[in-house]
């Protein structure tokens, strides 16, 4: 599951990055383009984190910390990156209220990976 999600997230990160670089560069203000680029950057890194969680689960099947890390990365992608993409493309500022939740999910995902590594 996480390998599939990570691969899909990687593909969409490339597509959205290219879209931003080519189609949005002249349409967004520099500030909004920076928000969009931040979303792409975190999207890509956490696509790789999902792949890493999947590979780790292959070696430690059923590890609850690795499973938690994978789900936290997936939710973080949706909330953090999704809200930044939406904000950059004109969503109401209230959408930004979920951005910190996504960031917290990323942090907790990485900490879950630490715990899994220490328990291995």
pTM of the complete model beyond 0.85: yes
Q: Which residue matches tokens 């080519």?
A: 22
Task: Read off the pLDDT of residues 55-76 as tens digits, 9 standing for 90 and up.
Answer: 999 999 999 999 999 999 999 9
Query: How many structural domains compose the chain?
Result: 1
CA gyration radius for the chain?
A: 15
The parent domain of residue 21 ranges over 2-119
Query: For 13-36, how does the pLDDT look when each residue is reduced to its tens digit (9 = 90+)?
Result: 999 999 999 999 889 999 999 999
């Amino acid at each position: 599951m996480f390998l599939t999600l990570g691969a899909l997230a990687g593909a969409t990160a490339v597509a959205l990055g290219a879209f931003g670089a080519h189609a949005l560069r002249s349409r967004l203000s520099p500030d909004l383009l920076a928000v969009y680029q931040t979303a792409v950057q975190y999207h890509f890194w956490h696509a790789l984190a999902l792949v890493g969680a999947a590979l780790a689960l292959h070696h430690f099947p059923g590890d609850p910390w690795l499973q938690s890390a994978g789900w936290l990365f997936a939710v973080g992608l949706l909330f953090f990156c999704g809200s930044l993409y939406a904000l950059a493309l004109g969503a109401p500022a209230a959408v930004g209220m979920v951005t910190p939740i996504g960031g917290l999910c990323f942090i907790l995902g990485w900490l879950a990976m630490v715990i899994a590594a220490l328990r291995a």
